[in-house]
Structure 1
Amino acid sequence: SVRGGLENYFLVERILNEYEIDVCFHLGAQTIVPTANRSPLSTFESNIKGTWNILEAARNSKLLKALVVASTDKVYGESPTLPYRETDKLAATHPYDVSKACADMLCTSYYHTYGLPVAVTRCGNIFGGGDLNFNRIIPGTIRSVLRNERPVIRSNGKFIRDYVYAGDIADANLRLAEALLAGKEHGEAFNFSWEQPQSVIEIAKKVLKIMGSKLEPAILNQAANEIPEQYLSSEKARARLGWKPEWDFDTGLKKTIEWYKQYLKPA
């Protein structure tokens, strides 16, 4: 493995060349919304500069045949018409959302200008084992239950979001890369979600129910610069990539809970 920052162009270019990379998944970013609000410049460095470095290194590579770039549903901004579709305009307003929208548009630019074999994924809220950001609702609630502490909800609990299991997103990335290698979907963006929007409080209560806990969530109502309702249509991904979620929400949630039980159990 190689450790380094995406902000270092020469390192990114060297990695693609020395390791003879032909398929690249650009998943690295500063993804935490409150951090972006507090520190927009470092978020822009990571998410915008990091992406143009990947794109430029890919453009200069003689071997790279497919580049999949992770974006987010937040690039669509606040919309009166839901679910979001790929034909909707990008209308981000807050630092994290804008950083990803810029990255998204850079991909479009590199495809149209240089013919780069790049495509973009726009996903709902991804969950699964391995996510150690315990400010997020699912890992945070699981850890709280295991510690017998009240789960904390930063917002008012009413925000509506899409959720999708990490295993399904791994499959989505692979399908999109295969399409690029086959000469298809260059310059395209795809939404990936379960198409089952739920409120944050509903998610917390499902975790509590599955874990057999009677704890009550503490609602802080402190979230800032977040969009009240966001959810996606995955119709395009179904029609053109043959993608659909393999795991239903409860099954994915149970698998996730088991991972954290093992990870957080006392040594």
Structure 2
Amino acid sequence: MQRTDSARVALITGGRGFIGTHLAVGLARQGFHVVAADRIAWLDDRVESARLDVTSYAECLDLVRAVQPHVVFHLAAFSTVDAAFSDPHASLATNVGGTMNMLEAARSVRGLGRFVLASTDKVYGELVGDAYVETSRLDARGVYDVGKMAADNLVRLYSEEFGLPVAILRLCNVFGPGDPNTASRIVPRTLSRIFDAAGPLPPVIYEGSMAHGRDYVYVTDVVRALTTVAFDPRACGEGFNMVPAAHRTTLDLVAEMIDQSGKACELHDRDWADAIRKNGYEVVPGTGLPSALERQHCDARKLGALGFSTQVTMTEGLRRTIGSFLRRRLVGRRTR
């Protein structure tokens, strides 16, 4: 690819992840020269691929110096609570050490416009009151949550101590097509069972998590929010809660996906649609991981003050996501 105006160069760590791929394509469509850095190579001629292990400071420094980005989107992380719990050392080395490496490397860039961290609402810990605000105490628990809280603190440290131009976006639960985390995240996990190739299986819900409340947002709105905090001068040095599309309990969300999936299947396979409804969902003992939070909800008026609002409703986002699972099943059925 021909490198053009340096002000249009964006480096994305974790560029092959769920959010990273959507962000990379979105920025490329806007005319940015996008470098997607990950342990896995990128296979899209719109995006330049670079291999990177963020736990290696030498690799981070070499890449940043070679790319000379105007903006760094730091998304590289152990991206699920389950994965972090299963390998706490590797998770913390990536989520904490990797952030520190990229921050230090970013200091070597002349004219860096913004270092954007994709953080999480889990940094706040258990919700006390009606909603988290950006000034709420960071009180994370659990391997994933604490690692992201440490990264959040490091970014603010580099802003306040070293004058690095940063912005932090604390995401809620992100969903949409292409999320590979079917073993852990509630939306792809539920839909992977409903659209299992061998026939619909009932979604599984932990008994103790049925009333857990979470904010949800569609992935393309996350891309828009990341670019907003990356390029709006008012966002420099600030942290923002993500504007959610909706708030749902686990039970209500699973019930909504069952209902929408059944309706989506009606025109293509009535038997499948009937089986989805008949299966319902399966409740199993437990609450998931011991550090699972019961309630999470963000006050996102600060991001709204920048003129940001979501464009995709919860219903529409689920329709698009269910459609992607349905299309995959229909294509698989035709190729068998």
Residue type matched to 2:230 in 1? A
Matches within 5 A, 1:88-237: 88-134=136-182, 135-147=184-196, 148-154=200-206, 156-179=209-232, 182=233, 184-194=234-244, 196-212=246-262, 213-214=276-277, 215-222=279-286, 223-224=288-289, 225-237=291-303
CA deviation map 1:225-259 (0-9, x unaligned) = 111000111111011x2111001100011111112
Q: Who is 1:12 aligned against?
A: 60
Q: Who is 2:320 aligned against?
A: 255
**CA–CA distance in structure 1, aligned partners of residues 134 and 61 of structure 2:** 30
Shift of 1:126: 0.3
Query: Which residue, out of 40, 53, 56, partners 2:104?
Result: 56
**CA–CA distance in structure 2, aligned partners of residues 8 and 261 of structure 1:** 40
**CA–CA distance in structure 2, aligned partners of residues 168 and 46 of structure 1:** 26
**Normalised TM-score (structure 1):** 0.94
Q: Do the aligned residues in 2 keep the contact of 1:107 with 1:187 (CA within 8 Å)?
A: no
Q: How many residues align?
A: 263
**Normalised TM-score (structure 2):** 0.75
Shift of 1:38: 2.7
Distance change (3 Å), C-alpha of 1:16 and 1:262:
farther
Q: Do the aligned residues in 2 keep the contact of 1:195 with 1:234 (CA within 8 Å)?
A: no
Secondary structure of 2:50's match? coil
Residue type matched to 1:258 in 2? G
**Percent of pairs with identical residues:** 32
Matches within 5 A, 1:37-56: 37-56=85-104
Shift of 1:37: 2.1
Query: Which residue, out of 21, 25, 28, partners 2:69?
Result: 21
Gaps of 5+ in 2: 1-48, 263-275
Secondary structure of 2:254's match? helix
Q: Does 1:71 align with 2:102?
A: no
CA deviation map 1:138-186 (0-9, x unaligned) = 111111111211112245321110000001110001111111xx3x322
Please identify which structure carries the higher strand content.
2
Shift of 1:42: 1.0
Gaps of 5+ in 1: none
**CA–CA distance in structure 1, aligned partners of residues 285 and 222 of structure 2:** 30
CA deviation map 1:9-42 (0-9, x unaligned) = 1111222221221111111110221222232111
Q: Do the aligned residues in 2 keep the contact of 1:82 with 1:230 (CA within 8 Å)?
A: no
Residue type matched to 1:164 in 2? V
Secondary structure of 1:163's match? strand
Higher RCO, 1 vs 2 (CA within 8 Å, ≥6 residues apart): 1
User: Relative to structure 2, which stretch is displaced further, 52-61 or 217-226?
Assistant: 217-226
Q: Does 1:242 align with 2:307?
A: yes
Structure of higher CA gyration radius: 2
**Alignment RMSD, CA only?**
1.5
